[in-house]
Amino acid sequence: MCGFRLNARLEADSRLVSILGLCQLRLMNDSRWPWFLLVPQRAEAEEIYHLTPLDQTLLTFEAGETARALKRVTECDKINIGALGNQVRQLHLHVIARSSGDTGWPGPVWGVGKAEPYDTNSANALIEAIIKEI
């Protein structure tokens, strides 16, 4: 973790949930979708191939665990996992629960409307449920 600094935009747009083995698990502050970020705590990592093979394995494991927990908690139709990095270059994975009929379904969540921030109680309830499942 030496030299790791969370990107200011990721910090502003999300809330720390937990520190996993490799990643910070963060909740995006947009209540339209249960949406988490995994941010590997490695300095200057912008792409998955910048990680060591072991860290790549840990990232895949943590993404799978987050996806399973999110599916169990939300009973959604589909889990979307993506690493774009076009606006924020720091490596991070999006893990998003999607359900038919949600805002923007079946398209991607990016660029759809304006974020609707969580109220504190709803965010805390989702975080507690996810933590219990991971």
Q: What is the domain class of 8-133 according to CATH?
A: alpha beta
- Domain ranges in the chain are 8-133
Q: What's the Cα-to-Cα distance from 73 to each of 3, 14, 70, 79, 108, rounded to whole Å?
A: 34, 19, 5, 12, 21
Residue 80 in tokens = 């979307």
pLDDT of amino acid 2: 73
pLDDT of amino acid 1: 56
pLDDT of amino acid 85: 86
Q: How far is C-alpha 104 from the geometric centre of its chain's CA atoms? A: 18
Q: Which residues of the chain have pLDDT under 50?
A: none
Beta bridge partners of 63: none
- Under DSSP, the state recorded for 29 is S
Distance CA 35, CA 60 (A): 17
